Chains A and B, each alone.
Chain A
Amino acid sequence: MNHDAYDDNYIRSILNNVKSIAMVGASPVNVRPSYFAFKYLAQRGYDMIPVNPGHVGKELMGKPFVASLADIDRPIDMIDIFRNSSHIMPVVEEALKLSPPPKVIWMQLGARDDAAAEKAEAAGLKVVMNRCPKIEYGRLSSEISWMGVNSRTLSSKRAPIPTQGMRLSLNRTSFSGGQTAASDRAAKNKTETT
């Protein structure tokens, strides 16, 4: 898997197939990116579980916080990790001990740990790094186009009427294949120039 540039179909298949998502590092503070993403994904119909030992006893969008992945009482399809790159490996190791293990490890924008990714992929999991599922969902459904964002998709079909909480169709034609994203070039340039 090329973790510098994902094919849209790879991201699309993950977002279409997972049903339950444990968000490690979810915050109840409503200006944190994890809060935004949690709320958005819950409204799109995903079964969201907030994981944060600092907030056990509280709820996020009506879902009780759990202290660790091991405390979740049902199988989890995807782990969305809202932690710095240096805290990824222990989460992945914990995820691989679950029975059944999750299908997908997703690391948030800015987070990347290639060794942890390799370990998860060796165990048959799919891995996404340095992306936000809210942004990717919004992009592939074109909902994010309301913000002037280049969705890198085209469609000549009438869009479903976008009401709150409804799952928009991800079934649009991508035109980048993830190959040309300026952000990917930026990530590359950054390591060259800093």
Chain B
Amino acid sequence: MTDRLPGFSTLAVHAGAQPDPTTGARATPIYQTTSFVFNDADHAASLFGLQAFGNIYTRIGNPTNAVLEERVAALEGGTAALAVASGHAAQLVVLQQLLKPGDEIIAARKLYGGSINQFTHAFKAFGWNVAWADPDEIESFERAVTPHTKAIFIESIANPAGSITDIEAIAAVARKAGVPLIVDNTLASPYLIKPIDHGADIVVHSLTKFLGGHGNSLGGIIVDAGTFDWSKDNKYPMLSEPRPEYHGIRIQETFGNFAFAIACRVLGLRDLGPALSPFNAFMILTGIETLPLRMQKHCDNAKAVAEFLSTHSAVSAVNYAGLPGDRYNALQRKYAPKGAGAVFTFSLKGGYDAGVNLVSNLKLFSHLANVGDTRSLVIHPASTTHSQLDDAAKVKSGAAPEVVRLSIGIEDKEDLIADLDQALRA
């Protein structure tokens, strides 16, 4: 008898979580402990030497975090995952396994502003270089490939305007270049898009956004697709060469198709240290149980709000891939048929001042720098996150003076529309 393949919602509730062996607790317990006792000296040596599966210290692994890891791996269709302190930590740990000083990644120009900062400044100080490419022009990725290229990095649904990336086309470029494709799936969540099905080798998330979903806990995760051969040409010595930290173990040879997740844990998290608090893991796990319900509501509300704004007399343009006339609508129907996500931008006829006024007049929308909360959020990039840029640079980064970004929550859509309407009239 072949076992039945459970659906996404079943996995969102159950994957990774079995009743606790000692107490029978049905909810996943919060293992708020730094350390775990060894059975004996041999057990300790086996754990430290990576010969046995088990817990040592919460900076390396924790049973609550492990449930979160298995759940997200199952939802994304990966072989394994590693939870870390934030989305930024996930990106740091991933690239530490892949890049040496002097190496390069090719990154899509349309990224979360925090990622652009991290790649441009912090990673540059490590000697990791970034070449920017335009996700709307696939050839720009091909042109950017050099002998130093070690990975390609894109967002599935891209900040700030919710544009949809042609993952399969960029995956083909990565395969041809012999490098892994890393996809930040934060704005889509696996409910809308499963990048591994489209050729991603590594998926990263800020769990802080839709997966946690309630705006209460930071977290990040790395999912290993199990698809990349790290030992093919010795380009990735962290995975293919004997590791002196572990008496000469070769990570891929020993761990097979989940070697990348193991490398991130035992070489990255262990030595860099951005561990996730088990309490945050518990909060995020609770959030994930309702991901399918919330994500559909986010998308349905966002579409209704985008439709309302597109006909409003104070609005000059709406960028939402779920609208039939949008330039990303065809890609949305291919990659994210259940919905175009909940983050998008629109432009006001009244320019900069109208943007400032709108934000101050809204009563339900919260003015803050986050996305993917149950609550609806608004930000006027030109007067906040992008205020240090000159006007030309603002336009280039999608933060022109008249642009407002929304992250639509799961309130009643009629109330969101009424709030926007009164604020636009005020």
Contact = CB atoms under 8 A, between A and B. Distances in A.
Interface of A: 7-9, 30-31, 33, 35-36, 39-40, 109-110, 132, 135, 138, 142-152, 154-164, 173-177, 179-183, 185-186, 189-190, 193-194
A40 B83 CA distance: 26
Which range contains the number of B residues in contact with the other chain? 35 or more
Contacts of A186: 225-229, 257
B226 A183 contact: yes
B18 A182 contact: no
Contacts of A194: 232
Given A142-B18, A177-B3, A30 B227 contact: no
Interface of B: 1-6, 10-11, 14-16, 18-22, 24, 39-40, 43, 46, 49-55, 61, 63, 65-67, 69-70, 73-74, 77-83, 175-176, 196, 225-229, 232, 242, 246-249, 253-258, 261-262, 265
B3 A150 contact: no
A178 B110 CA distance: 37
B79 A149 contact: yes
B3 A9 contact: yes
B232 A147 contact: no
B193 to A, nearest CB: 16
28 contacts: A8-B3, A31-B248, A36-B50, A36-B51, A39-B51, A40-B52, A110-B253, A145-B70, A146-B54, A147-B80, A148-B61, A149-B258, A150-B70, A150-B74, A150-B78, A150-B81, A151-B70, A156-B14, A158-B18, A158-B21, A174-B3, A180-B5, A181-B79, A181-B257, A182-B225, A183-B79, A185-B227, A189-B175
A15 B191 CA distance: 35
Nearest to A36: B51
Given A154-B15, A190-B229, A182 B257 contact: yes
Contacts of A179: 5
A160 B256 CA distance: 27
B190 to A, nearest CB: 12
Nearest to B266: A147
A176 B15 CA distance: 12
Contacts of B5: 175-177, 179-180
Contacts of B21: 158-162
Contacts of B80: 147-150
B423 to A, nearest CB: 44
A34 B304 CA distance: 58
B226 A146 contact: no
A156 B14 CA distance: 8
Contacts of A152: 74
Given A155-B18, A181-B79, A182-B79, A146 B73 contact: no
B77 A158 contact: no
A190 B19 CA distance: 39
Nearest to A43: B52
B261 A31 contact: no
Nearest to B74: A150
A125 B372 CA distance: 54
Contacts of B52: 40
Contacts of A185: 227
A190 B232 CA distance: 10
B405 to A, nearest CB: 33
A30 B51 contact: yes
B18 A157 contact: yes
Given A132-B256, A174-B3, A186-B228, A146 B18 contact: no
Contact of B20 (A150, A158, A173, A181): A158
Nearest to B82: A148
B53 A156 contact: no
Contacts of B262: 147
B257 to A, nearest CB: 3
Given A157-B18, A194-B232, A147 B53 contact: yes
